[in-house]
Structure 1
Amino acid sequence: MTGKELAPDVRRAVQSLPSESADVVAKHLVASGQLLEVDPEAAWQHALVAQKRGGRIAAVREAAGIAAYKAGHFREALAELRTVRRMTGDDSYLPLMADCERGLGRPERALDLATSPEVAGLDTPAKVEMLIVAAGARHDLGQHDAAVVSLQVQQLRTNSRAPWRARLWYAYADALISVGRTAEARDWLVKAAEADADGETDAAERLDEIDGIVFDEVWDDEDDEAEDDEAEVGEVEEAEVEEAGDRAGRDEDDATDGH
């Protein structure tokens, strides 16, 4: 790991730091990115080191915010994302910020962000993410019917292969389940599972739950053990039969010799 693995624009920004700090920050950013999905807490620790030495760079604050969010440090994530938004004027962080508010147990604040005027200027992927977060906030507040209605948007009927479609379909299925519309939810879970090539949702597992399919690994292990026990019993019985036959043969020979 050299730090050269960073995206060119991020690397250029990091190089504005003093040379010693630039090298350290770059390496920690790379490590954070590599660990983000497999060990979010370690990713956050790397990003924190980078933030302490390169906090005046927006890309560093963004990395720290995303890593903190992934690791469940919602207060720290919200602070970082607010900072990077002020530094860049980029409103695309609003969905993550709203979800941080949910993580902090403040669904009302999440809905305030979801209905802010800036949301209208977001691109479609960010708007969809905000819809999903807002629906989750309504679930938090017990407003399950409202969550269903809030997701009945034009994007729900998309025929495109947009990367956000699986998450939207899954969120809508989850909302339908919460109001007892399980049969409809199953149809949307099927769509979500088919579209979810990257495994972002557990749509397939939810389908199995609805269909009553249970994979009991313990039961399978017990079956295997039972088969092994039966095989061992069979082998013992066979050996006992052979031994009894041998004894009978020896007794017959002894009797013959006696005559």
Structure 2
Amino acid sequence: MRPAGGDRGRSSVPPRPTGPRLPEDITGKELPGEVRRALQSLTGDNADIVAKHLVASARLVDVDAEEAWQHALAAQKRGGRIAAVREAAAIAAYKAGHFREALAELRTVRRMTGDDSYLPLMADSERGLGRPERALDLATSKEAAGLDTPAKVEMLIVAAGARHDLGQHEAAVVSLQVPQLRTNSRAPWRARLWYAYADALISVGRAAEAREWLVKAAEADTDGETDAAERLDELDGIVFEEDWDDEAGDEADDEADDEAGDEVDASDDVAADDDPAEDED
């Protein structure tokens, strides 16, 4: 005999959604068609919830990476066998600085898809875990040698960062002296490459050369992927915070002078009132 209440486990009511609260304006239809089609292998209600969490994660990943990670994690728990879901979880974890989780998700989605373009993120996650040697192992692997140009450039940048981590600053400079550095194209990766090269030059004391590359990076970086403009100001000795403090100090000095002047005037008035000659008059 089943215990009393045993039939409650067969309720047709769907389980209560887990994960962070979903914004009401998200429908799930915002996803690209190929991702929506991939989610069709899930049950109807579950597919809808996963889709909404994926949209929320994508919306937040550059604004609130931790919240984006929580949405991606909720989607992963419900649709972990879908490669697009694992990819979203990997990217959100990486952006949020959860490098161990990011690396695990990246390995999974690479295994599911056979796509080696995840290798740069995997290498940078190794750096985030304090393992620059492993990052360099990935950068010099035969799989990395077969990457297309955008992914290859990203891997070059990661590898240079790993060399910085190891104190190999001169080697980082040399590693970035590749033909792509002199590109005349409007490739989206050029700003990041130029910025990385400028950063490497600064690390070995070649500030004048670094400035030229920071100028190029700042002009090319129309999407704000780097802080090239800010670094350029720092290199030129422009620090707005100090200027602001100086202005505030000048205003304080002016106020102090005014107050001192008022006190002198008041003293003169008192002295005039106490003058005995005026009392005799």
Mapping of residues 35-114 of structure 1, within 5 Å? 35-114=60-139
TM-score, with length taken from structure 1? 0.87
Do residues 176 (structure 1) and 192 (structure 2) align?
no
How big is the shift at 1:15? 2.4
Equivalent residue for 2:35, pick from 10, 27, 36:
10
Instruction: Give distance in 2, aligned partners of 1:144 and 1:106.
Output: 17
How far off is 1:120 after superposition?
Answer: 2.3
Secondary structure of 1:15's partner? helix
**Which amino acid counterpart does residue 20 of structure 1 have in structure 2?**
D
**Percent of pairs identical after alignment?**
79
Gaps in structure 1 of 5+ consecutive residues: 248-254
2:166 aligned residue: 141
Q: 2:247 aligns with which of 220, 228, 240?
A: 220
Q: One-letter code of the match for 1:184? A: E
**1:229-240 mapped onto 2 (5 Å cutoff):** none
Write the distance in 2 (CA, Å) between the matches of 1:95 and 1:192: 21
AA of the residue aligned to 1:219: D
**Counterpart Cα distance in 1 of 2:81 and 2:107:** 14
- 1:127 equivalent to 2:152? Answer yes
Q: 5+ unaligned residues in a row in structure 2: which ranges?
A: 1-25, 274-280
2:221 corresponds to which letter in structure 1?
A: D
Letter in structure 2 aligned against 1:151: L
- Partner of 2:164, secondary structure, is helix
Matched residue SS, 1:38: coil
Shift of 1:220: 3.0
Instruction: State the shift of 1:221 in Å.
Output: 3.2
> 2: CA distance between counterparts of 1:5 and 1:123?
29
Provide the secondary structure at the position in 1 that maps to 2:186. Answer: coil
Deviations 1:131-186 (A, max 9, x none): 00000001111111111110000000001111111110011111111111111111
Match for residue 19 of structure 1 among 41, 44, 55: 44
- Say if 1:16 and 1:229 are closer, same or farther in 2 by CA, change over 3 A: farther
Alpha-carbon spacing, 1:18–1:224, altered in 2? closer, same or farther (3 Å) = farther
Cα distance, 1:37–1:233 mapped onto 2, change above 3 Å: farther
| Bigger mean CA offset, 214-223 vs 170-179 | 214-223
Q: CA deviation at 1:94?
A: 0.3
Residues 169-218 of structure 1, C-alpha deviations (whole Å, 9 max, x = no match): 01111111111111111111111111111111111122122211221233
Deviation at 1:232, TM superposition (A): 7.9
The answer to which structure has the higher helix fraction is 1
Match of 1:250 in 2: none
- Equivalent in 143, 148, 151 of residue 176 of structure 2: 151
Question: Quick one: which amino acid aligns to residue 247 of structure 2?
Answer: D
Query: 2:253 & 2:33 partners in 1: Cα distance?
Result: 60
Q: Give 2:277's aligned residue.
A: none
Three-state SS of the structure 2 residue aligned to 1:61 is helix
Whole-Å Cα distance in 2 between the matches of residues 89 and 227 of structure 1?
69
Which segment is superposed worse, 207-216 or 95-104? 207-216
Q: Which position in structure 2 is the counterpart of 1:252?
A: none
Where does residue 236 of structure 2 map in the other structure?
211
2: CA distance between counterparts of 1:114 and 1:25? 34
1:251 is matched with: none
Equivalent AA in structure 2 for residue 114 of structure 1:
A
How many residues are matched?
250
SS in 2 for 1:2: coil
